[in-house]
Structure 1
Amino acid sequence: MAELRRSLGYFAIISLAVASIMGTGLFYGAGIAPQYAGNASILSWVVLSLFGLYIAACFGELTSMFPEAGGVYEFCKRAYGRFFSFIIGWVAWLVGNITTSLIVVAAVNLIMPSHPGTIIWKFFIAVGIIILLNYIAFLGSEASAATLVMLATVSFVVILAFLIPGFGHIDPANFQPFFEFGTGAIFVAVFFIAESFFGWESATFLSEETNNPEKVIPKSLIIGTLITAVAVILVNIVSLGAVPWRELAGADVPFLYVAGQIFNPLTAKLLAIGVFVTMINSAFGGAVTMPRLILALARDRLFLSQFSKIHKTRATPYKAIIFQTIVSLLILYMGFGSYFLLLSLLLPLGFIMYAFVLLAVPILRKKMPGMKRPFNAPFPIIGPIISVMFILYLVVKWIAYEPNAWSVLSLGVSLVFFGFPLYFLISLYYDPEMITEANDIVAYFTLFTERISLPGKVKKEILAILGSLKGKTVLEYGCSVGTLTLDLARAVGPDGRLYAVDLSRNDLKITQKRIEKLVWSSKERIHGRVTIIHDDQQVYRLHSGVSYSDVIVSVGMLGYIQDIEKMLREFYSILPPDGKICFVEYGDFFKLIPNVEWLSKNEVVSEVFRRAGFSVQVERKKGLFWNYIYVYGIKSHEAITLV
């Protein structure tokens, strides 16, 4: 099976860290922060830089402990457990997608003037950029690393080209008055420029593709944050020194507005192209890293397992990249032309994610005190707590200053809570315990809708495949509410026997009542002896109460079996030579959600059964809300072609 390939070193990870952390704040922040703090916004950048360095250190410690592709999801899984780690992973995914859209929107607005006739062209250019970036990410970590290093080099050249001549244009008078809005405004400005330092998580997602990640990634995060901090502070000193802050606050792109005051028109245009490349570099960081988060979730069965596949030659999670491309395009479509809305939505979501990651440091210090930490964050207990309190303070300040803060915060929180039903839906898809609990809760609903889930036509086809069952012993693996059980009981006749096994007690109670009703309604015995067995471990192994069966039949259970080859061997052990099997599975739920991966191709299904000693025929038939996968055949030592 293909795996991720370790090929990344310091230069690639530092380039990624700088690209991901720098964001759009370097070029837009000089206009946003002064709106709230005036010239004192320079101190906002200093405060944010110090805070960012500490967060980078916390990420460094966690990455050194768990250098895996899941990054923040992996940290939170160890600290908080399965549910909260999924929610944090969900938030990280939202933050990553919104950030990518935010940067692409800003980059396209940078190179094209805002006129009604250009909107459609700007949108299609943005679409093309996202597709191109994701295609490069698909090509492999080496191609991605080369692109990141190349684009990062352009970024450094652009910043130096701005700063070196820019210092000569600073007018000290432009810094007066300095504390025009008071010291409290400094922290309000910090909230709105915080996006400039979002992105520490990106490098952690590449842990499994980095050489010596326990050392390389923590150091790269610190170096990348330090480079970003120096760059943004110096750029803002030059910007506010060269141009009065009120002019910057009204500029579309403050960085280029200042460049226009310093350079001749041709140089300013070249610098604009360089800024565009730098912003695309930031967006590329998300294209490279976010599919690794999907990969980690899929591995842990918190996302569709198909997205955990690695390309054989490119060694990239190609299905996750395709999915990520589609989602990025959808978010781009929904948020195109709404830079400030995207920014306002991104900030509370980012703070929620970082708060949980920061608190994971002291929690894991307590839960895993003896675990090796190649990199140690300073003040590991009190530091993260103070940092989270600072985040809460920033949010409170934002709410107090910004009239629409509550509506934006509510929208952000609603996106977080949308992850709750998503978690339960995915758990119903994979988690046996959740499946059992859900089946118990909805047992009577299942009874009410049984003609939809198992139509009469499908039942007739199953019985036709099995042929005559008179006098035989039949195992119904997963009898649910007895939809097929009654037909099987009649089919085996008075001399036959039926084992009806299920993991839901409430489903079995309904089945028991239906069997009893069948007994009392019959003037003479026309059905077999029915043994109902509750087995809460049904998806792991065959119940010991079933030692022999001529026929095994099951509906809707194959996808839940945790180890299919082990279970098939156990089925094989209780069947006689030429014993029959018939499994019917649901596929492509609502024509959108696929089944588990091994059921996606007929050849794979046939091979799985063949290895267990069965010769089977696999057929797929269309249904109203889902498709049906029929797997039927016999126990045989040699492969037999069934007709």
Structure 2
Amino acid sequence: MQRKMGTFSLMMTGLGSIIGSGWLFGAWKAAQIAGPAAVFSWLIGMLVILTIALSYSELGTMFPEAGGMVKYTQYSHGSFAGFLAGWANWIAIVSVIPVEAIASVQYMSSWPWKWASWTHDLVHEGQLTGEGLFFASLLILVYFFLNYWTVSLFAKANSMITVFKFIVPTATIVALLAFGFQSGNFTDHPSFTPYGWSSVLTAVATSGIVFAFNGFQSPINMAGEAKKPNFSIPISVVGSVLIATMLYVCLQIAFVGAIDPALVQHGWHQLSFNSPFADLAIALGVNWLVILLYVDAFVSPSGTGTTYTATTARMIYGMQKNGYFPSVFGTLHPIYGVPRAAMFFNLAVSFAFLFLFRGWGSLAEIISVATLISYITGPVTAAVLRRTGAHLYRPFRLKGLPIIAPCGFVFASLTFYWARWPLTGQVLFIIFIGLPIYFYYQSRNGWRQFAQELKAGIWMLVYLLSMALVSCLGSKQFGGRDIIPYGWDMGLVALLALAFYFWGVRSGVVTKHLQEAEQLNNELKRRTQMVEEAALPSARTISSQSK
């Protein structure tokens, strides 16, 4: 590992990942659900993500490896819980590929030029038509073939794309505040919280807020290349989330303020756009911003879609190495080093998601809830490894973990509940679809070993089923049958989350996977010591010269 990345570089990596298609649609979707109060949804989402991200920061510095987010739970609880967490993380990531293609096509559908009038038929009532599916499919194929031979082709333009991602949202904020801001939109239609505070919480889970903040993983995945991981990783993770929050809050304020009051006269729920910010810019006559937004609608989503095409292929490759998939998915092309079988599998899954969920909003909901399921294991794993892996080298040791970890687990559980029934049940069904795959390949290793793995990970299965039951029986404000009253339902979720957190921590064991991961940790420690020792002579030379 070449430790050349400083704090600023890692922070830019996180920001570049967080600012994707989420900014193009997130403000509209959040306003549609919660009205002007959606501003608070971004702040709550920030708090939820930070408590989770800090736990993963410690794990990422301990095990700096590709695809680490799908492996950590296997180190602390074995293959059963590891599979559930890894499968949920893969579902959340692979579905990003079609959602980025959908984002580009939806913005394309509102091109205002006469020669482009045919694009208006690409989307109908927020869903892609047959023509729209065709163009989205072409974009997915572009992402695929940019990775088919090598990922370096697109990676070379990454820095320029990241800068572009900053310029366009900032220009959008300035333009909307300058040309169309109406403060009355925050109080007059009919109030700041037109649908109550429960809608503010639902917006956190389903409007794309969790989806947008998902990019905090990037600095963690780059931990092995940080000059000073004990300093750079937590600063870059926290810094990228905080800066992105400021940007998203300003975008939300600018979006709400620029809305024509006539559009929300009958409620914010009626607010409908195919390309939200571009439609506002057209209405305000800011032509230069319209062109900039249409360009970015292809640049930002395509950058993310191409990157995630590479990432998901490596995830399938890693899961095959863990024994969850056929051996064909673990083969690399002898020349290009690309796991092509895994890429074709992800391509098929991407098309399935594209044709099942044809709108950005509906697919972003699936991604957000699946992401939350994959996140819940991070705080538990970090706490378990404090006990089972106390001897391991930790470049960064999170202070306050005994408090931050359970808070992160509770916040993630509450956000999952806020996603509303039946969406919570539908995503859990998608997660459980993977269990037959796990049972088949685990049976080949012997049922005695399976019993041990199940004992360590059964808490997660019971937790997910319990959350689905509470979501179904919960208050009507969150889509339930109203058997558990509003207010009491969130209290019950918090108590259950605490109980399952401590059950999960106690279930952690010294797994064979952790013993294998110790080699990576020892290598990290050895290389870190080599770097530090190599730096000492230089430091002494500089000191003597200064004297």
Same-fold call, TM cutoff 0.5: yes
For 1:298 and 1:224, locate their aligned partners in 2 and report how far apart those are by CA, in whole Å.
Answer: 32
User: Per-residue deviation at 1:276?
Assistant: 2.8
Does structure 1 residue 75 correspond to structure 2 residue 50? Answer: no
Change (3 A) 1:329 1:313: same
Summarize deviations over 1:131-176 as a string: whole Å, max 9, x none. Answer: 2223323444543432332322221121122123333243333322
Q: 3-state SS of the aligned residue for 1:381?
A: helix
For 1:369 and 1:332, locate their aligned partners in 2 and report how far apart those are by CA, in whole Å.
Answer: 44
User: What is the TM-score of this pair, normalised by structure 2?
Assistant: 0.69
Q: 3-state SS of the aligned residue for 2:441?
A: helix
For 1:187 and 1:48, locate their aligned partners in 2 and report how far apart those are by CA, in whole Å.
Answer: 9
Counterpart position of 1:121: 131
Aligned residues: 424
Mean Cα deviation higher: 259-268 or 224-233: 259-268
For 1:185 and 1:296, locate their aligned partners in 2 and report how far apart those are by CA, in whole Å.
Answer: 38
Counterpart position of 2:143: 133
Does structure 1 residue 143 correspond to structure 2 residue 153? Answer: yes
User: Per-residue deviation at 1:296?
Assistant: 1.4
Does structure 1 residue 105 correspond to structure 2 residue 66? Answer: no
Of residues 258, 279, 299, the one that matches 1:242 is: 258
User: Per-residue deviation at 1:98?
Assistant: 1.7
Contact 2:325 2:437 in 1 (8 A): no
Does structure 1 residue 284 correspond to structure 2 residue 283? Answer: no
Of residues 419, 422, 432, the one that matches 1:417 is: 432
- Answer 1 or 2: higher relative contact order, Cα 8 Å, separation at least 6: 2
User: What is the TM-score of this pair, normalised by structure 1?
Assistant: 0.59
Contact 1:98 1:342 in 2 (8 A): yes
Summarize deviations over 1:612-632 as a string: whole Å, max 9, x none. Answer: xxxxxxxxxxxxxxxxxxxxx
Of residues 334, 338, 356, the one that matches 2:377 is: 356
Change (3 A) 1:315 1:14: farther
Which one-letter code corresponds to 1:146 in the other structure?
A: K
Contact 2:21 2:100 in 1 (8 A): yes
Give the % identical residues: 22
Contact 1:63 1:204 in 2 (8 A): yes
Mean Cα deviation higher: 112-121 or 362-371: 112-121
Change (3 A) 1:221 1:241: same
Change (3 A) 1:376 1:231: farther
* Runs (5+) with no aligned partner, structure 2: 110-118, 452-547
Q: 3-state SS of the aligned residue for 2:395?
A: coil
User: Per-residue deviation at 1:94?
Assistant: 0.9
Of residues 181, 189, 194, the one that matches 2:203 is: 189
Q: 3-state SS of the aligned residue for 1:33?
A: helix
Counterpart position of 2:534: none
Does structure 1 residue 387 correspond to structure 2 residue 403? Answer: no
Does structure 1 residue 369 correspond to structure 2 residue 369? Answer: no
* Runs (5+) with no aligned partner, structure 1: 400-404, 438-643
Which one-letter code corresponds to 1:351 in the other structure?
A: L
Q: CA RMSD in A?
A: 3.2
Alignment of 1:147-162 (within 5 A): 147-162=157-172
Counterpart position of 1:224: 240
Mean Cα deviation higher: 26-35 or 77-86: 26-35
| Higher normalized strand content (fraction of residues) | 1
For 1:13 and 1:307, locate their aligned partners in 2 and report how far apart those are by CA, in whole Å.
Answer: 30
| Higher normalized helix content (fraction of residues) | 2
Does structure 1 residue 91 correspond to structure 2 residue 88? Answer: yes
Counterpart position of 1:299: 321
Change (3 A) 1:297 1:133: same
Of residues 186, 199, 211, the one that matches 1:175 is: 186
Contact 1:57 1:377 in 2 (8 A): yes
Mean Cα deviation higher: 97-106 or 142-151: 142-151
Which one-letter code corresponds to 2:349 in the other structure?
A: V
Q: 3-state SS of the aligned residue for 1:373?
A: coil
Which one-letter code corresponds to 1:183 in the other structure?
A: W
For 2:285 and 2:234, locate their aligned partners in 1 and report how far apart those are by CA, in whole Å.
Answer: 38
Change (3 A) 1:323 1:312: same
Of residues 39, 59, 63, the one that matches 1:62 is: 59
For 1:436 and 1:18, locate their aligned partners in 2 and report how far apart those are by CA, in whole Å.
Answer: 41
Counterpart position of 2:363: 342
Change (3 A) 1:270 1:425: same
Summarize deviations over 1:51-85 as a string: whole Å, max 9, x none. Answer: 32333322221111111123222111112211111
Summarize deviations over 1:453-512 as a string: whole Å, max 9, x none. Answer: xxxxxxxxxxxxxxxxxxxxxxxxxxxxxxxxxxxxxxxxxxxxxxxxxxxxxxxxxxxx
Does structure 1 residue 273 correspond to structure 2 residue 295? Answer: yes
